[in-house]
Chain A
Amino acid sequence: MNAPSVDLSSYRDQHFKGSRTEQERHLRLTTTLYVGNLSFYTTEEQLYELFGRSGDIKRIVMGLDKFRKTPCGFCFVEYFTREDAEMCMRYINGTRLDDRIVRTDWDAGFIEGRQYGRGKSGGQVRDEYRTDYDSGRGGYGKIVQQKMLPKLT
């Protein structure tokens, strides 16, 4: 049956160790979700409250800035069952937390190290190149911020 909200998206983690087929097999069985577009200020408590509404959570791993070790706007939510994770994809994906639309997507499973941002400056890559001002995610993108610095001094 056609089920767009729980189908795999077109995104594939480029750092996945293994073949594309293996990755897809993992994605079809996983109970872990990647959650993006969070505010840097959103806490683990809030995430438990929202994501716990679709089922029992096994654990939440907060995404951290590689250098500062502070939240950088994403997390992994692992459920005990696939069904509960599907409920999350159906009903929580695309709704709001801290006034931001959260995006959830299947994840092949958390591996140590993946909690850190992959951008040069330590945060997520998207926050390197962003040109808009986003108060929930540290203002302007990192590159824009650096370009603005000389002007200020």
Chain B
Amino acid sequence: MSRRKFDEMSDYDSSRDRKRRRTEAVEIEDRLESLIIRVGEKSTSSLESNLEGLASVLEADINNYKGKILKILIDCAVKMPEKTTIYTTLVGLLNAKNYNFGGEFVDMMAKKLKEALKACMWRTARYVLRFFSDLVNCHVISTNSLLQLLLTFLETARDDNSPQVRSDTYVYAVLSCLPWVGRELYEKKEQDLDRLLKHIEIYVRKRSRKHVPGLRVWRSDRPHPQEEYLDCLWAQICKLRSDMWQEKHIARPYVAFDSILCEALQHNIPQITLPTHHQDNTYLFPWVVFRLFDYTDCPEGPVLPGAHSIERYLIEEHLHNIIKEYHHERKQCAALLLDFPLKHKIPLEYMIVEVVLAELFHLPGPRYIEICYGSLLIELCKLQPATMPQVLAQAVELLFDRIDTMNVCCFDRFVNWFGYHLSNFQFKWSWDDWLEAAQLDSSHPRAKFIIEVLLKAMRLSYRQRIAEVVPEQFDCFVPQKPEPVYKFCADSTADLPGMDTAHRLESAIRAKGTVTELLAVLAELPNPLRESEDTDPPYNPLQIQVFVQSILHLGSKSFSHAFAGISKFLKAFESLVGNHEEAQMLVLKEMHEVWSTHQQMMVMLCDKFLRTQIVSCATVANWVFSKEMVPEFTKSYIWEILHGTIRKMNKHVARLQREVNEARERRVGNDSDDSSDSDNEEQQQQQQRPRPSEEEIERMEEKLEGAQADQKNLFLIIFQRFIMILSEHLVRCDTDGRDFNTHWYRWTIGRLHQIFMMHNTQVERYSQTLSTLLFTQDLDPHILDAFNQFVALRS
């Protein structure tokens, strides 16, 4: 063997060795990660022996893999709050074996906490604090140093220069870790604990609750009080205190290791100063705890923990966390919810239903899209067919019983979900239980609920089917057959102006006439707005009438037909309608005349008119509040249209904002050679685009400003119209000596409230203008309340 060859061989070998060593290291790290992540999962041996074994394995590897082990443990501590006590025990055992490692862990967790507080990651911060609390139980952290940290958190309560939501966030974090460490503090530091609780009590008493009414699912506290989250947790903690801090929910594996752990030395949490308030900070949005059931609702099996028992809080938090973690995979999510660790000790189905509905009805908006909850509930029913459908049906009965005082946002979500749910279960429902509703005024919430549910159900099915599944007493509720009404119908006997032109226009369209040919046909119509030869009205209402009626009539077969007609003759729309608000309004009026029995069609057409810019957002808003629409005003589809319009405007502004931001970034020049994603074509294209010039950016900014002005204007129109009709109603009732608090009034004030809730981030930007221009102090307090509740959400 030549020398050269030998060298090559040895090179080869050593590189392979290095490679092998590296892969071995990676393999060991992966194995450690998997062991740590999976500890506490179902196993043939006891949790205690698994923890003991894992602690020994880790102890042996600490010297070589310390960084990795620390990182995994911290991730688990923050991301798996349901396993807090398992990991605190593990850290406790490691600390007992290796004091320095325990110290490094505490330091890194403190660093994590600082970062989280700075970045407004309140969930992470709360779970680090809870972990620290439980580390006291494991003799890793000294009681005094935890108390010090808790008191630091509570100092925010005395800071008058920051909003209440900030101190609420900190106080909530402290309260939520007391179930873990309350008993320990009570035994070791009773006086300090009392002092801490006194601080909280003073704070809870004095804090403002202006935001609460706006966040309630029901106006009424009967049968169950609807408590704000901090008030509720405070009451639960008080109850826990009176029970001598004994709770039955948290599994505490460290108890078994007491003899080992109590030998260990404790660390102090490094000093933490809280970041000061900054106006860009976001804090926890307050909420009201959703309560649907109490123990009397689930008479069989285990007892439902009371509203103020700490178990209710702990179980609910755990269930919410499962949904948060697994909502992307509904089947897995449903399976995990039903496999809840303590399922035999609690009426699990009831608690799951309450938690899922709490998220669906959450205000101002649900955490995930509504259909997420709808399909999760279907999955739960499929997995547990013996019990889940009954519990859910019972929940619907209770919601229906309490619908009179339900928030309008929640009413809409209830209707949407229930219609969808029924469509997945052949529309089978005990409709007969609701027969009484047929006697009610049609604007009564119960009657309205049934009407709207049947409308939704019909959209997912067809009219005949719905008419057949409900009892005949509900005939009054069954929607009309969705059919177009064409004013210029050939068999119509009425001699309407424009009749002949309409028929000629129809023939022209059928003969595939061009826009110019169509306009020529319409040109023969006289303009009723023209008073003399000299005037030249900006548009011709008769032409618009004939044109819109004919287009919609000929496109009445399906959405696609209607859309195709509008797209094809867009130029004709532009020339007949233009930018005149009255002309645009006529388009909507004619649409409503043709399709008044087909709400979904109107929703879709409005969407199409907006996308094609045939009508403006402002026109749609004015149309919704117009005289012609008064009979439709409390129907849900009108609000579906208005919210869709606002949403479109918001999206438009957001898109322009994004574009400006991107252009500015490119202008500054992000020439970083970060080519890690170079296989991503889109990104490459982006990089290849030339840098925008200053003028280009200015033009984009102007466009954005224009859109923002439109957005502001849209909100001003909507709120002004609300104020007008509500004030008018209040004044009239006052002069007539009638009660103003009618169904109409409650629907209308509810819809006003809904605008604030659904679009709160966008409205917030203009809240200064709104308070100086519209929601002024001289306004009727009933109307002003809606605005004040909205402002209070962030104060």
Q: Determine the distance from Cα of A96 to Cα of B426 in the docked complex, in whole angstroms.
A: 9
B460 within 8 A of A: yes
Chain A residues closer than 8 Å to B487, beta-carbon distance: none
From known contacts A5-B329, A90-B330, A95-B378, infer whether A46 and B372 are also in contact, taking CB-CB under 8 Å: no
- Check A44–B371 contact: CB distance below 8 A: no
Across chains A and B, the number of contacting residue pairs, with CB separation under 8 Å, is: 67
CA distance A98 to B371 in the complex (A): 17
Residue of A nearest to B682 (CB): A29
Residues on A with C-beta less than 8 A from B601 are 45
The answer to whether B375 touches A95 (Cβ under 8 A) is yes
Q: B371 is contacted by which of A48, A54, A97 (Cβ under 8 Å)? A: A54
Once the chains bind, are B371 and A87 in contact (CB under 8 Å)?
Answer: yes
Size of interface on A: residues with Cβ below 8 Å to B: 25
Name the one of A4, A49, A91 contacting B460, with C-beta atoms under 8 angstroms.
A49
CA distance A96 to B604 in the complex (A): 23
Query: Contact: A92 with B328, CB < 8 Å?
Result: no
- Chain B neighbourhood of A49, CB < 8 A: 459-460, 600
CA A47 – CA B328 in complex, angstroms? 22
- Most chain B Cβ neighbours within 10 Å, of A6, A49, A53, A91: A91
Q: A92 touching B375 by the CB < 8 A rule?
A: yes
| Chain A residues within an 8 Å CB radius of B416 | 53
Majority SS of interface residues in chain A?
Answer: mixed
Do residues A46 and B558 form an inter-chain contact, with CB atoms below 8 A? no
Selected contact of A46 from candidates B328, B329, B369, B461, CB within 8 Å: B461
Task: Look across to chain B and name the residue whose beta carbon is closest to the beta carbon of A98.
Answer: B461
A99 & B558 in contact (Cβ 8 Å cutoff) = no
Residues of B with C-beta under 8 A to A90: 328-330, 372, 375
Q: Is A8 an interface residue (CB 8 A)?
A: no
Known: A4-B329, A96-B424. A45 touches B600 (CB 8 A): yes
Inter-subunit contact A91/B424 (CB<8 Å):
no
Q: Give the shortest distance, in Å, between A135 (CB) and chain B (any CB).
A: 14
- Closest CB of chain B to A98's CB: distance in Å? 7
Contact A44 B375 (CB under 8 A): no
> A95–B424 Cα gap in the complex (Å)?
7
Given contacts A54-B369, A90-B372, whether A96 and B459 have CB atoms under 8 Å apart is: no
The answer to whether B560 touches A91 (Cβ under 8 A) is no
Whether the pair A97, B423 counts as a contact (CB closer than 8 A) is: yes
Contacts of B432-471 to chain A: CB distance below 8 A: 459-462
A92 partner residues in chain B, CB cutoff 8 A? 371, 375
For B424, what are the chain A residues with a Cβ–Cβ distance below 8 Å?
95-96
A48 vs chain B, min Cβ distance (A): 6
Q: B559 near A91 (CB under 8 angstroms)?
A: no
Minimum Cβ distance to chain A for residue B568 (Å): 15
Which residues of the partner chain B approach A4 to less than 8 Å between Cβ atoms?
329
B-side interface mostly: helix
Q: Give A87 to B331 CA distance when docked, in angstroms.
A: 14
Query: Once the chains are docked, how many angstroms separate the CA of A90 from the CA of B559?
Result: 26
B522 CB, nearest partner CB in chain A, Å: 29
Whether the Cβ atoms of B329 and A91 lie closer than 8 Å is: no
Q: Is A143 an interface residue (CB 8 A)?
A: no
**Residues on the B chain within 8 Å of A131, using CB:** none
Whether, in the assembled complex, A3 has its beta carbon less than 8 Å from a beta carbon of chain B, the answer is yes
B420: interface (CB < 8 Å): yes
* Residue ID in chain B nearest A51 by CB atoms: B371
Cross-chain contact B559 with A53 (CB below 8 angstroms): no
Number of interface residues of B (CB under 8 A): 26
The answer to whether B460 touches A97 (Cβ under 8 A) is yes
- Within the assembled complex, what's the spacing in Å between the Cα atoms of A62 and B564? 14
| Cβ contact within 8 Å between A3 and B328 | yes
**Could you tell me the distance between the alpha carbons of A135 and B339 in the complex, rounded to whole angstroms?**
38
Is B258 on the interface with A (CB-CB < 8 A)?
no
Is A44 within 8 A of B420, CB to CB? Answer: no
CB distance from A110 to the nearest CB of B (A): 13
Q: Which residues of A contact B426 (CB under 8 A)?
A: 99
CB <8 Å contact, B372 and A48: no
Pair A3/B329 contact, Cβ less than 8 Å: yes
* Shortest CB distance A126–B (Å): 23
| CB <8 Å contact, B461 and A91 | no
**Contact between B559 and A44, CB atoms less than 8 A apart:** yes
Is B59's CB within 8 Å of the partner chain A?
no
Report Cα–Cα, A104/B306, bound state, in Å. 43
Q: Which of B296-342 contact A (CB under 8 A)?
A: 328-331
B370 at the interface (CB under 8 A from A): yes
**With A43-B558, A95-B424, A96-B424: A53-B371 Cβ-Cβ less than 8 Å:** yes
A60 contacts partner chain B, Cβ-Cβ < 8 Å: yes
B163 within 8 A of A: no
**Contact in complex: A46, B460 (CB < 8 Å):** yes
Tell yes or no: A50 within 8 A of B by CB.
Answer: yes
| CB contact list, A50-98 vs B, under 8 A | 50, 53-54, 59-60, 62, 87, 90-92, 95-98
Contact, CB under 8 Å: B604 / A48: yes
Cα separation A92 to B459 with both chains bound (whole Å): 16
A4 to B420, CA, bound (A): 24
15 contacts between A and B (CB under 8 A): A3-B328, A4-B329, A5-B330, A45-B600, A45-B601, A46-B460, A49-B460, A50-B460, A53-B420, A60-B560, A87-B372, A90-B329, A91-B372, A95-B378, A96-B424
Given contacts A53-B374, A62-B560, A96-B423, 16 further A-B contacts (CB under 8 A): A3-B329, A4-B329, A44-B558, A44-B559, A45-B600, A46-B460, A46-B461, A50-B460, A59-B560, A60-B559, A87-B371, A87-B372, A91-B369, A91-B372, A91-B375, A92-B375
Which 6 pairs from chain A and chain B are nearest by CB? A49-B459, A91-B375, A53-B371, A96-B424, A91-B371, A44-B558
